[in-house]
Amino acid sequence: MKNRNLLILGGSGAIGRKVTEYAVQRGHQVTLVVRNKNNVEPHESVKVIEGDVSDYGVLAQVIPGQDAVISCLGIKRKNGKNPWSSLVSPRNFTEQVTRNVLKLMEKYQITRFIAVSSAGVGDSQKAMSFAMNSLVQLSNVKLSFADLDKMEQAMRASTLDTLVVRPVALTDAEQLPSIGIVDKLDMSTTISRASVALWIVDAVTRPERFTHPTEMIGNI
C-alpha cells in the first residue's frame, strides 16, 4: 500500500482526531490546519499549520503536494449536543470552504476528496424516520443539513474523484463493530465516530474511482 500525503480539515474535531490517528497508524503523512496548535497532540508524522480553513490563502499554502484531502468540517452550534442551540459558524461555512478546496485541488491536479456529511442530507432524507425528520426540521440541525447539502452539490459538480460519507447518529464508543452501507435512519441507528474515521481512512486507498457516490454508513 502506497503511503499518502493527506490534508485533513477539521482535524481537531471528534471525527478528525480519529481520522488523523488511523491515518498515522497506516503510515500516511498528515497535514492539519487548526486555529490553535495546542488543541492537537504533536506527532512526527503530523504537520500542524495554524490558520483558518475559511482563508483561501491558507488553503493555497497547504493543498499543493497532497495526494488527497479529507474534510471533517461542519457548521457549529454553541452547544453541539443541543439541536436548538444557535450557530457560531456562518450558515454556508462548509459549502464555501469546500468550493475553495475543490478549486485549488483542480488547479494543482489533486483528484481525491472525501468529505463527511450526514445521513438525512439530500436524497437520504427519505431514509429518515418520521421522528428523526421532525427533529431535524424543528431544530437548527436543518441549517447544518442545508449547508452539507450544498457542499455535496459542489462535490458532484466538480471534475474530481469525490466521496461523500453520510454517517447515521454518532456515538463516542471506541468499539469497532461491523459497519457498512445502510438504508434507514431512525433513533436506533448508530455508528461510532471511530468507525466513521476508519471507513474514511480505508477509502483513501481504494483502487477504483469514487465517481461521486454517497455512502450512508452505520453499524450492521
Per-chain mean pLDDT for the chain: 94
162 pLDDT higher than 90: yes
| 212 pLDDT more than 80 | no
What is the per-residue pLDDT for 2? 80
Query: What's the rounded Cα separation, in Å, for the pair 198 and 105?
Result: 24
Range of the domain at 16: 5-219
Residues 184-196: what's their mean pLDDT? 91
Domains: count for the chain: 1
8: CB partners within 8 A, 6+ apart: 16, 19, 20, 23, 30, 31, 32, 69, 70, 72
Q: Residue 163 pLDDT > 80, yes or no? A: yes
Query: For residue range 52-71, what is the model confidence (pLDDT) as tens digits?
Result: 999 999 999 999 999 999 99
Q: How far is CA 217 from the centre of its chain?
A: 13
The answer, yes or no, to whether residue 175 has pLDDT greater than 80, is: no
- Residue 104 corresponds to which cell in the numbers above? 485549488
Q: 109 to each of 54, 57, 126, 162, 210, how far by Cα in Å?
A: 21, 18, 35, 13, 16
pLDDT tens track for 137-158: 999 999 999 999 999 999 999 9
Question: Could you count the other beta carbons within 10 Å of the beta carbon of residue 142?
Answer: 15
pLDDT in tens, 69-92: 999 999 999 998 899 999 999 999
C-alpha to C-alpha distance for 186 and 43, rounded to whole angstroms? 38
How far, in Å, CA of 85 to CA of 200, rounded?
29
Give me the pLDDT at residue 1, please. Answer: 57
Distance, in Å, from the CA atom of 216 to the CA atom of 196, rounded to the nearest integer, reads 10
Residue 176 has pLDDT above 90, yes or no: no
pLDDT, residue 86, reads 92
Instruction: State the CATH number of the domain containing residue 127.
Output: 3.40.50.720
**Residue matched to cell numbers 485533513:** 8
Distance CA 139, CA 152 (A): 21
